[in-house]
Chains A and B, each alone.
Chain A
Amino acid sequence: EVRLVESGGDLIQSGGSLRLSCAASGFTVSSKYMSWVRQAPGKGLEWVSVIYSGGSTFYADSVKGRFTISRDNSKNTLYLQMNSLRAEDTAVYYCAKGDSALDSWGQGTLVTVSS
């Protein structure tokens, strides 16, 4: 059974940094495309980043240069390093398996950026 569990969300001040983790089970993270999606409180879904099985990474313009997606194959875990955080980054962050079709999702982790 595929399972994704996010962690690392917190209340942090504007300008700070945070690293989110997404522990996977039931499949191998390095063999799949993996994505991060966020949802601001009361708002819609926003695509954030993707890492392909070959290791290529891509980002939404809103986070490019500030966020970095990566994975640790030995821990079967996906990460999102978030720097220079802004109030508008406040959201629930979901990791998901896939790229154009996100077929499994975690429960999400809340990041709150205070200004």
Chain B
Amino acid sequence: QSALTQPPSASGSPGQSVTISCTGTSSDVGGYNYVSWYQQHPGKAPKLMIYEVSKRPSGVPDRFSGSKSGNTASLTVSGLQAEDEADYYCYSYAGSNTYVFGTGTKVTVL
């Protein structure tokens, strides 16, 4: 149950795009299409942004998109807005009824 690897930080100017990677193994990210992404503002509970690799829950702006290639999943935020500044975590099913989060990425809007 090792944490999935994310870059510690990412940044972009308003209106630009930022992409966050989430690297695991064939036993988690690469083995299942059960990758989800969460946004967490300071002092708040996480919020589901993407599930099953690329599906968006109702109410999440279409500026948020997800994808996966091999053992790496990605979250792209297009048209960055000030309110997108937050921590982002990926999360994957890891087999044998266990789950694992990524290390987290702090997104800064310049």
Contacts and interface: CB of A to CB of B under 8 A. Distances in A.
Chain B interface size band reads 20 to 34
Contact of A106 (B45, B48, B52, B98): B45
A33 B103 CA distance: 24
Nearest to B32: A100
A101 B99 contact: no
Interface stretch (A12-20, A40-48, A68-76, A77-85): A40-48
A50 interface: yes
Contacts of B98: 47, 58, 60
B11 to A, nearest CB: 19
A103 interface: yes
B38 A45 contact: yes
Contact of A45 (B1, B52, B97, B101): B101
A81 to B, nearest CB: 19
Interface bracket on A: 20 to 34
B100 A100 contact: no
B93 interface: yes
Given A56-B97, A101-B51, A101-B52, A45 B45 contact: no
Contacts of A102: 36, 38, 46, 48, 91
A50 B97 CA distance: 8
Contacts of A100: 32, 34, 36, 51-52, 91-93, 99
Given A100-B34, A100-B36, A45 B104 contact: yes
A62 B93 CA distance: 17
A35 to B, nearest CB: 7
A107 B1 CA distance: 25
A103 B51 contact: yes
B63 interface: no
Contacts of A60: 1, 98
